[in-house]
Amino acid sequence: MALDVEALIVAHQAGVWRYLRFLGCDRAQADDLTQETFLQVLRHGFEQRGERETAAYLRKVARNCFLMSVRRTRHVQSVEDLDLADRAWEEGQGDAEAGEARLRALRQCLQGVQGRARQALELHYQQHKPGEEIARQLGMSHDNLRVTLHRVRQALKKCIEGKLGPP
């Protein structure tokens, strides 16, 4: 069966883009890597299966494109963070509407994060600064930064689950 490229892109482009944003890409980088994801699929061939299998495969390709981009720019992203992001994505993505509800809940929960914790999140996820640089800028040790980010992630998870229920 021939691959219907247009249908594949229409069905999965937004999900791939949201996944890349979830991993930490800014809008422009997510646009570029979404395009690269579909180009990779076309170059290397792809046998479309069920909806979930296709989405999982496209996320894998997008993740690899993201990692290659990270390596090119020498921005260090811990694999542990990416694995955590993958699990969170899979748990929270039943359908597009559920994903949008989670994004709204996250935005609401982020409003409650203030001070150095907020700065740490912004520097890490929006500006993609390395941990050592963030720690130095915020006047804390790298270990304290990691603990701070971990606690904020846990608090955000709890807040989101409080708004939506557990995944």
**Which CATH number does 1-76 carry?**
1.10.1740.10
Which comes out higher in pLDDT, residue 37 or 3? 37
State yes or no: pLDDT of 141 exceeds 80. Answer: yes
Entry pTM: 0.49
**Of residues 115, 126, 107, the one with CA closest to residue 148:** 115
Angle, CA 131 vertex, CA 99 and CA 17 arms, to 5°: 25
- Give the H or E element holding residue 24: none
Please say whether the beta carbons of 91 and 160 come within 8 A: no
**Of residues 4, 18, 162, 41, the one with CA closest to residue 95:** 18
| pLDDT tens profile 71-104 | 777 655 555 666 676 776 666 655 556 667 777 8
Classify domain 94-167 at the CATH class level.
mainly alpha
Q: Cα 159 to the chain's mean position, in Å?
A: 18
Domain boundaries along the sequence of the chain: 1-76, 94-167
- In this structure, which amino acid lies at residue 93? Q
